[in-house]
Amino acid sequence: SSRDELRILASLSAANDTKCLGVELGRLVSSPGPVFPDEATALSSLSRQGFVEVLRGNALLGFASTDRGTGVASVGVVVAGVLVATSVTRLRLPGGHAVQVVTDAQWVTASSNWMAEEPEFFRTLKQFTVGGTHYYCETVDLTRPFPSASPVEDADLEFVWNHFLTKPFRAMGLGACCPKLLQGAVECSEHIDASGARYAIAKL
């Protein structure tokens, strides 16, 4: 990242490349240039361009901006940023699935004027606790009774906390970069039955 620009690298397990997006002038944009074959190549290229600060995360949870074009009124300074899950705890679910509990998340922002006071909109966003109170699963829909026959992509949006925040990614055809984030607590435990077979019990 830099003071007024951000670059976002996304490497999906279902893809064989690393996508690069940019945050410029308060907007999420496709970064110009070639598609990178892997993360190391992408990081090397960005380093040569002057991007020296790197934050690694487990998942992209959303994007927000005070730019008027995004629907949030701004006065003077324009601030935009991405919400990143920087730490997750993996818990086993029945059926071989796993739920990722977000234990820490942070907003990474770029501003048109770092000398100006941060807009109230972003101060409010940063005060909201995501770590420890949200979770996601990339292999099974958890918005319906388990096990759901619906694909993850068709989750019930009433329960998807970050649906609005992921709109800019979906508009670019990159909705797969952001998991469906649900709010609540998760408890998972593993047991062994009389025959010695392991099984899991989960409370969502």
Q: Which residue has the tokens 């951000």?
A: 6
Indicate if the pLDDT at residue 143 is higher than 90. Answer: yes
What integer is the mean pLDDT of 90-116? 87
More confident: 25 or 149: 149
pLDDT at 118: 79
Neighbours of 113 (CB within 10 A): 12
- Mean pLDDT rounded to a whole number for the chain: 86
Q: Residue 79 above 90 pLDDT?
A: no
Integer CA distances (angstroms), 140 to 145, 147, 193, in order: 11, 8, 25
pLDDT at position 76, please? 63
Alpha-carbon distance of 75 to 5, in angstroms, equals: 19
CA dist 185 and 108 (Å) reads 25
Non-local (6+) Cβ contacts of 85 within 8 A are 57, 58, 59, 60, 61, 100, 102, 104, 105, 130
**Mean pLDDT calculated for residue range 87-106:** 92
Residue 170 has pLDDT above 80, yes or no: yes
- The encoded tokens of residue 76 equal 């003077």
What's the mean pLDDT in 18-40?
Answer: 84
